Amino acid sequence: MIARIARKEMVEMFRDGRFHLAAGIIGVLLLASLAAGWKQYADLKTQHETAQRAERANWLGQKPKNPHQGAHYGVYAFKPKSQLSMVDTGVDPYVGVAVYLEAHKQNEFKFRPAQDASTSIQRFGELTAATVLQLLIPLLIVLLTFSAFAGEREQGTMRQVLSLGIGRGRLAAGKALGVAGALAVVLVPATLVGVGTLAFTSTTGLLAVDVSRTLLMVGTYGAYFAIFLALSLAISALARSSRFALVALLAFWIVNGLVATRAFSDLAGYLHPTPSEVEFDKALQADLANSTALNARLEQIKQGLFQKYGVQKLDALPVNFRGISLQEAEDHGYTIFEKHYGDVFDSFDGQNAVYQWGSLAAPLLAVRSLSMGLAGTDFAHHRHFTTAAEDYRRTIIRYMNQDILVHPVKDGEEYLAGSDLWQKVPPFEYEAPSASWALGHYITSTVLLSGWLAATLLAAFVAANRIEA
């Protein structure tokens, strides 16, 4: 019976020119945005890989020089594009694409793409597949569903349908299934095309798609659509007229899609303010300049070495003290950088937590967070890469300082290292974290989205059972 109702609903929609138009436009936009996303992903991926290889060649091609000069020469680390960024580019336009890894300091990421492409419409946002899924599909659901019950009541067909003795719950289920079927006509091909493109263009091997991330993303959007479907049915069942149902649902769509995201983002800014770059840099430089503890520690090490080897002069040591002092200075810097960057990054995380709680008011906030997280284009992934790049910087410097340490020099001499040393430093390899790691950052969103799903399904069930003709 449910299937028959669903079929009737679908047939009705498929005969409606407005459905053809709306579904056609949305389908085209979805495919176009996927294509644009894929092109961007493919272009940037190649660029970043080429650049990273070139950087490795630059590093290995260094002429003989002192290892510390090598550390100053450094390496650039380029942030790789994630596969699913073709669906959701997330914060990628707003974070730098590369970081310079050099001696003495942890640099910030430079070159935010949004700054380079700052045409006057840039702040309207990009049309990504995520935008289509987050804003347009819910609107399509509202348009397909608002008159499901209210419309039948107005036309007077509700009484007839109910007189057939069909259960109200079954009627609702059938209508929901009908709308879902119509949506599937748009969504299933797009999903297949998207996954297919990823699978067949993957350079890391045919079909090398991150299955768990993809499935979780499909699940997230599926839940989001189900929420809209259930809510629309509930409102349609309760509404006095289909006009009222439509206006109420559009109002919800606007608050959910437009108002809440900005309102909570600004609220988060009030609750977790961040320092300006000027303040940040001033505090950082002040801490770095304070070398009392460092000097005391170096003196202590020096005396310890003098005692150990029974000598009085640095020159007489069997090791090069400069290797130690450079490394100690780095270690001194590590804790300071960790504290300063850590504080700022933690306040970003705090802001993002406030934003996630905003999904109490609007499910989109949970979906946006989860979608970016699963696509690997959120701040958490950026921070993960930042840490990996910083670890690599420390690795390079440790190799350099270790080499200085084991090459004692007499006054005025300069030790030069060659390609052996450059070779010793392993190339930079970054592995993106797992899907469960990504999901771990969005427990709040997952719970609240599930809550919305349960609540709206319950509302639809209750409302459907109270339908009156």
User: Could you tell me if 88 and 377 are in contact, meaning their C-beta atoms sit under 8 angstroms apart?
Assistant: yes
Q: Which residues contact 363 (CB under 8 A, 6 or more apart)?
A: 224, 227, 256, 448, 449, 452
* C-beta of 2 vs 75, nearer to another protein: 75
Q: How far apart are CA 374 and CA 376, in angstroms?
A: 5
Q: How far is the CB of 364 from another protein (least distance, A)?
A: 11
- Taking the complex as a whole, how short is the minimal distance between the CB of residue 311 and another protein, in angstroms? 27
Q: How far is the CB of 445 from another protein (least distance, A)?
A: 13
22: CB partners within 8 A, 6+ apart: 140, 143
Pick the closer one to another protein by CB: 327 or 347: 347
- 139 versus 298: smaller Cβ distance to another protein: 139
In the complex with another protein, the residue whose CB is nearer, 3 or 258, is 258
CB of 295 to another protein, least distance (A): 15
Using CB atoms within 10 Å of the CB of residue 109, give its burial: 0 to 12 exposed, 13 to 18 middle, 19+ buried. middle
Q: Please, what is the minimum distance in Å from the beta carbon of residue 22 to another protein?
A: 8
* Closest distance to another protein from the beta carbon of 25 (Å): 8
d(CA 98, CA 110): 6
How far is 420 from 117, CA to CA, in rounded Å?
Answer: 42
- Shortest CB 166 distance to another protein, Å: 26
Angle subtended by helix axes 321-357 and 277-289, to nearest 10? 150
Query: Which pair of structure tokens corresponds to residue 47?
Result: 């660029």
| Residue 78 or 461 having the CB closest to another protein | 78
Beta carbon of residue 342, minimum distance to another protein (angstroms, whole number): 13
| Largest pairwise CA distance in the chain | 106
CB neighbour list of residue 21: distance below 8 Å, 6 or more residues apart: none
Name which of 37 and 408 has its Cβ closer to another protein.
Answer: 37
Minimum CB distance to another protein, residue 341 (Å): 10
- Nearer residue to another protein within complex by CB, 258 or 462: 258
- Closer Cβ to another protein, 214 or 261, answer by number: 261
Total residues found in the chain within this entry = 469
The answer to whether the beta carbons of residues 317 and 311 sit under 8 Å apart is yes
Neighbours of 110 (CB within 10 A): 11
Distances (CA, A) of 10 to 6, 144, 166, 329: 6, 10, 19, 70
Q: Which is nearer to another protein, 249 or 460 (CB)?
A: 249
How distant, in Å, are the alpha carbons of 36, 386, 387 from that of 381?
A: 22, 8, 10
Q: Which is nearer to another protein, 6 or 30 (CB)?
A: 30
Nearer to another protein, 109 or 334 (CB): 109
Q: What is the full DSSP assignment across 34-60?
A: HHHHHHHHHHHHHHHHHHHHHHHHHHH
Minimum distance from CB of 110 to another protein (Å)? 6
Are the C-beta atoms of 67 and 403 separated by less than 8 Å? yes
Gyration radius from the chain CA atoms = 30
The nearest distance, CB 196 to another protein, in angstroms, is 21
Instruction: Give yes or no for a contact between 448 and 360, defined as CB atoms under 8 angstroms apart.
Output: yes
By beta-carbon proximity to another protein, the closer residue of 6 and 388 is: 388
In sequence order, what are the residues at sequence separation of 6 or more whose Cβ sits closer than 8 angstroms to the Cβ of residue 383? 345
Q: How far is the CB of 347 from another protein (least distance, A)?
A: 8
Per DSSP, the three-state class of 283 is helix
Phi, psi of 100 (to 5 degrees): -95, 125
**Three-class SS of residue 150?**
helix
